[in-house]
Homo-oligomer: A and B are copies of this chain.
Amino acid sequence: MPTSTVENYLKAILVRSADAGAVVSTGSIAEALGVTPGTITTMVKSLAAQGLVEHQPREGVRLTPAGRAHALGVLRKHRLIETFLVQVLKMDWKEVHEEAEALEHAISDRVLLRIDAILGHPVSDPHGDPIPSPKRPLFDRGKGVTLATCEPQRPFRVQRILDQSGPFLEFIQRTGLKPGARVRVRERDRASGVVRCELGDAEAALGLPEAAKIEVGAA
């Protein structure tokens, strides 16, 4: 059974592969895991020896089907745990990511089954990220309509928050731009880089890069 370090590598590679067969640079993995480039090279060779990735030196890394399957399992655990922490344990939205980071390597499949059942087999976590499952392989590549690109004046519904960092989640919480909220872009000014939008009777302003982190769908 893979160690928790191996699981973290696989997960990092998975979330960085746009599509199923995409190649990921070792450098981007190094940055994601906060580890020196040399460490990645070493580790990637070991992952390749275990048949979890394929490695083209100086090219990049690609998950094998086995590696992808394992990574999806870890991602599923992570997102189910986040959902559980918020819905059952009533924990704060912005705390659960780091908690799940530790728990995803300690929770057995047996416990996970119970959690999934108690939550009623949810299909997305509190940030709106999809929860992969054997039958729902991770559609992910959505059309990607965000507050930076959606049609102005039309009402939408927040679907997903694409940035898990503390300060950003704090902002989301403060403004109420959480998944499920109804929102309407009132004005988008390319020159100043500001998006002003309306939630119920409140208003919020955010920069274009930040707006691009909020995915929306039909209201």
Contact = CB atoms under 8 A, between A and B. Distances in A.
Contact of A108 (B99, B108, B111): B99
A78 to B, nearest CB: 13
A89 B115 contact: yes
19 contacts: A88-B88, A89-B114, A89-B115, A89-B118, A90-B114, A91-B110, A91-B111, A91-B114, A95-B110, A99-B108, A99-B110, A99-B111, A102-B106, A103-B103, A103-B106, A103-B107, A105-B106, A106-B106, A106-B107
A118 B88 CA distance: 9
Interface in A14-41: none
Interface string A105-129: 1111011001100100000000000
A114 B115 CA distance: 16
Interface in A74-99: 85, 88-91, 95, 99
Contacts of A118: 89
Interface of A: 85, 88-91, 95, 99, 102-103, 105-108, 110-111, 114-115, 118
A107 to B, nearest CB: 7
Contacts of A107: 102-103, 106
Given A114-B89, A114-B90, A115-B89, A102 B95 contact: no
9 smallest beta-carbon distances between A and B, as pairs: A106-B106, A89-B114, A102-B106, A103-B106, A99-B108, A99-B111, A91-B114, A89-B111, A95-B110
A85 B99 contact: no
Given A105-B106, A106-B103, A106-B105, A111 B88 contact: no
Nearest to A84: B89
A86 to B, nearest CB: 11
B91 A102 contact: no
A105 B103 CA distance: 9
Nearest to A107: B103
A171 B63 CA distance: 46
